[in-house]
Amino acid sequence: MEATYRDPVFAERLAPRRAELEQLFHSLYGDSPEFDHFEQVMAQAHADRPADLKRLDAAREHDPQWYRRGDMFGMTMYTDLFAGKLTDLAKHIDYLKEQHLTYLHLMPLLTMPHPDNDGGYAIEDFDTVDPSIGTNQDLADLTAKLREAGISLCLDFVMNHTASTHRWAKAAQAGDPEYQDYYFCYDDRTIPDQYDAVVPQVFPTAAPGNFTWNEQMGKWVMTQFYPFQWDLNYRNPKVFVAMMSSLLHLANLGVEVFRIDAVPYIWKQLGTNCRNLPQVHTIVRMMRIMSEIVCPAVVFKGEVVMAPKELAAYFGTPEKPECHMLYNVSVMVNLWSALANGDTRLLKTQIDKLDALPDNCWFVNYLRCHDDIGWGLDEDVERQLGIDPLKHKEFLYHFYEGMVPGSWSMGELYNYDPASGDARSCGTTASLCGIERALITHDRPLYERSIQRDLLMHHAMGFLRGFPMLNCGDEIGQLNGWGYKEDPDRVADSRNLHRSKFNWKNAANRDVPGTLPNRLWEGMADVRAMRSDPCFAPDAWVTTWDAHDDGILAMVRQSGGRTLLGVFNFANRDATATLDSIEGVSLPRTVALKPYEWKIEAC
């Protein structure tokens, strides 16, 4: 029986959405009484929601495109590496305001085991901030101060798995069958072997297999990522409702954006590859409806590391939306490929595929983040262009490792698999672009060209459909942190190369003309100035353009009758873009560019 709710706002939002929400829930869980519990969880979360967040909800219901505006500018960071604790980070909000940030993504900060926590992605308690970082009140205080500064806080919601030390996992290990059903636990290898026959391995070298034997429990447990991360069983409605309760709790602490980690993996079904299954979309759709009812100020950003053809489904449809935006992983990878090759053909093709997606598709664009660069290029397109996919991948990760003749990069491999020839790349933007090598070798021409490469990449990224997000430190040219090799708790993971403490000494030079921090700082300001153009309106038309030179990426933006041209030379040579005009798009016939130069022109 449908409940009656006293809160008129909650009741008004629930009424038009309840039938679909109930139908979706029952499509996964039948007539489970957990739906009533889910409804009660939502009602209580709305009742507990602070008044200032309810005001934000109301404002954003009237401004649903807020996250698509041209002035959106983001940054991602680890709290402890940037400042220490949450209270320390709050003291540096002026530094964030200097950059006109509107979006801050903090890496996972909920209670986690130490030291094995996969950078915070193994979570012991989804409701509580890790004591090493602060308290729940510290988080609420920080989000309030950020809102006052016009900055929305994003946190990861790691819903695919828990730490093996989570209270549910501990109960499962102690033999409680109720909590064993929160995970995938099996007495023998019969079913795990059936899964392994078709489910790809996430980390075939670092963490081979999809199951781990738990001696205490006497069972095999599904662990697709690392052995200390147990996959949750979303076929159990109690898991879904409990996780949604935690998400709403974080939303009430002031989190405005949730990055849904590993979205495609969250539903497992025997006989499939456990990726991109229809039930995943049912769950994300229920999450979207839930947020529209309880906390409409909140938006969801999906981490979907999949081919472009798989992406549109994660946005849903305009009538039944799912994620508000996705990480633009594929274009990030292609930007680095184009920089190494001086060839933009793969990059242009990938951008074209994303620009062809429906208008409700929106992206967070970036160059570097907490993770590695996985060389997941479009192999079919590579073959069409006469490129051998495996040889190309090997070239790229060895290039950014600095092991290819003529390479200016200084990075490291991550998760190298000699059997498949696969590997990923680590390093900061500045070091991958050559700045670190130039400083070590005292090579002034290389230094100048490397800074130019760095700024080219940021401007090209900033011109894309969506909004840009910096990795903290890129705004001052932070270099690799090789000291991680001296830390026994961090040495096994080469991603720590670009997870080093923020260099506040260098940041102090951001206003000193001619210094590296100043040149990168001013470069990021130029990206923001570029994006203040009316052609960065949410409804702008964005497309690539043929430059008649494979080393040049040309893009056109149009909005309100205004046209903006961006040309970016990824080649280490002088080049000239030759541009054809068409009706409604009048462009200069030629644009001359120096190596790694870009030009932005109103036409």
Give yes or no: residues 375 and 472 share one domain: yes
**Token pair 């499939």 in the structure block, residue:** 272
Task: Let me know whether 474 and 552 are in one domain.
Answer: no
Nearest to 554 by CA among 585, 519, 529, 584: 585
Which residue ranges in the chain fall short of pLDDT 70?
Answer: 1-4
Alpha helix stretches (DSSP H) within 157-307: 167-173, 177-180, 190-196, 237-252, 278-294
Same domain, 45 and 149: yes
Q: Choose among 173, 183, 168: nearest CA to 223.
A: 183
Domain boundary among the residues 489, 506, 532 is at 532
- If asked whether residues 64 and 142 sit together in one domain, one would say yes
Q: Which of 290, 305, 327 is the last residue before a domain boundary? A: 327
Do 306 and 348 lie in a common domain?
A: no
Residue 173, domain member (yes or no) = no
* Single-letter residue type at 490: R
Q: Which of 481, 499, 532 is the last residue of a domain?
A: 532
Which pLDDT tens digit goes with each residue over 524-582?
Answer: 999 999 999 999 999 999 999 999 999 999 999 999 999 999 999 999 999 999 999 99
Global pTM? Answer: 0.96
380 given a catalytic annotation: no
Does one domain contain both 266 and 362? no
517 domain residue, yes or no? yes
Say yes or no: 364 and 486 in one domain. Answer: yes
Of the residues 57, 261, 436, 597, which is catalytic? 261
**Residues 305 and 335 reside in one and the same domain:** no
Domain of 444 in residue numbering reads as 328-381+424-532
Residue 212 lies in a domain: no
Do 2 and 132 share a domain, yes or no? yes
Structural domains of the chain, count: 3
Residue 143 lies in a domain: yes
* Catalytic residue chosen out of the listed positions 303, 371, 454, 549: 303
> Tell me, what CATH number does 493's domain have?
3.20.20.80
422 is catalytic: no
- Reading phi first (left if > 0) and then psi (alpha if -120 to 50, else beta), residue 514 is in left
Half-sphere exposure of 459 (CA within 13 A, CB side): 28
Do residue 343 and residue 459 come from a single domain? Answer: yes
pLDDT of residue 2: 58
The verdict on 29 and 144 lying in the same domain is yes
569 domain residue, yes or no: yes
Task: Classify residue 152: in a domain, yes or no.
Answer: yes
pLDDT on residue 1: 43
Asked, for residue 342, whether it belongs to a domain, the answer is: yes
Could you give the CA distance from residue 65 to residue 263 in angstroms, rounded to a whole number?
23
Quick one: pLDDT at residue 240? 98
- My answer on whether 583 and 500 are in the same domain is no
Cβ neighbours for 301, distance < 8 A, ≥ 6 positions apart: 154, 257, 258, 259, 260, 323, 324, 325, 326, 327, 364
**222 assigned to some structural domain:** no
* CATH label of the domain that carries residue 559: 2.60.40.1180
